[in-house]
């Protein structure tokens, strides 16, 4: 259902408010560059600092701007199951193609708790659901056996796997088979996960280099493995510098350097340290982004 290079798009701010024009311009740029899907209100979109009205408005603008040209998989997670159901219902109402739902954070549910959480959402809202496993953010790791159980539910169609653990990714794809689609959640693992059977990646770095990531997936899908591998290696220095500080600080700073957004975050996120900013700028210059 979802495939290819999917961008976990930033949320531009201007004077503390959601900058709708910049956001629409970003989406149009991504579509022109070959991006296969847009993910608003994810980690990279600073969803945790958006209030409900802002969250829904970002999704609404994304859906209207995309206008069915590519997929819109909207972030709809929360650490309380009832709240996640509320957001997911609104996501469906706003016309998103699917809901990306992160594992509950901070409260550290058991594997059974994770199963019951997603089962409750899937039964409450008839929308395609993509699970999101990112233990570095949430302090809980959803294990492949739990995902395999969830893959039996009809509207759970995929998982964004962001552990960076290739053994876990391999086990996940092996256990789930064709029941759900698996997507890389870490840019440095996307090429390797495609080889294991993943259907694409949900990318941070593609915010600033969308064509390279779309071309990598397209080359892989066409059987041109050498080209896909070359593109993977060419992006690795950029992938590394995207995480020298907490995401989305580096990628949003990079977009500001490119003139595409204001360099504005919401606390507790803040501007990059000068030394890291220099490293980011150097990496971008080396591949001609600035």
- 74-89 burial by CB neighbour count: b if 16+ within 10 A, else e? bbbbbbebeebbbbbb
C-alpha to C-alpha distances, 67 to 7, 38, 210, 223, nearest whole angstrom:
16, 12, 19, 30
Please tell me whether residue 201 adopts helix, strand or coil conformation.
strand
Structure tokens at 11: 């949320």
- The DSSP-derived string for 149-195 is HHTTSTTEEEEEE-S--HHHHHHHHHHHTTSSEEEESSGGGHHHHHH
**Which of 129, 127, 131, 122 lies closest to 104, judged by CA?**
131
Identify whether 132 is a catalytic site residue: yes
Residue 97 has phi, psi (to 5 degrees) of -75, -20
C-alpha to C-alpha distance for 118 and 120, rounded to whole angstroms: 5
Q: How many whole angstroms separate alpha carbon 170 and alpha carbon 184?
A: 11
Any residues with CB less than 8 A from the CB of 106 and at least 6 apart, and which?
Answer: 79, 138, 139
Preceding peptide of 248 cis, ω within 30°: yes
The answer to whether residue 217 is catalytic is: no
132, 183, 199, 252: the catalytic one is: 132
CB 73 within 8 A of CB 98: yes
* Residue of 90, 118, 160, 252 marked catalytic: 160
- Cβ of 269: how many Cβ atoms within 10 Å? 16
Active-site residues: which are they? 132, 160
């Amino acid at each position: 259902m979802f495939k290819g290079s999917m961008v976990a798009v930033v949320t531009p701010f201007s004077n503390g408010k959601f900058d709708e024009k910049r956001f629409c311009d970003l989406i149009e740029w991504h579509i022109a560059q070959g991006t296969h899907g847009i993910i608003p209100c994810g980690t990279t979109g600073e969803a945790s600092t958006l209030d409900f009205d802002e969250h829904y408005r970002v999704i609404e603008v994304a859906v209207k701007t995309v206008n069915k040209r590519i997929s819109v998989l909207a972030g709809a997670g929360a650490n309380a199951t009832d709240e996640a159901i509320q957001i997911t219902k609104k996501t469906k109402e706003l016309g998103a193609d699917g809901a990306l739902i992160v594992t509950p954070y901070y409260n550290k549910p058991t594997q059974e708790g994770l199963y019951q959480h997603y089962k409750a959402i899937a039964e409450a809202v008839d929308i395609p659901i993509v699970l999101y496993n990112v233990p570095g953010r949430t302090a809980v790791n959803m294990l492949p056996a739990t995902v395999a159980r969830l893959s039996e539910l009809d509207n759970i169609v995929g998982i964004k796997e962001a552990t960076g653990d290739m053994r876990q990714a391999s086990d996940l794809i092996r256990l789930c088979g064709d029941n759900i689609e698996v997507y890389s959640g870490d840019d440095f693992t996307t090429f390797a996960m495609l080889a294991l059977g993943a259907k694409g990646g949900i990318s941070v770095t593609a915010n600033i280099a969308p064509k390279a990531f779309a071309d990598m997936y397209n080359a892989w899908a066409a059987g041109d493995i050498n080209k896909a591998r070359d593109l993977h290696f060419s992006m690795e220095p950029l992938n590394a510098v995207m995480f020298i500080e907490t995401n989305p600080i580096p990628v949003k700073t990079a977009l500001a350097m490119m003139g595409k957004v204001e360099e504005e975050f919401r606390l507790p996120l803040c501007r990059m340290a000068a030394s890291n900013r220099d490293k980011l700028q150097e990496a971008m210059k080396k591949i001609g982004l600035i």
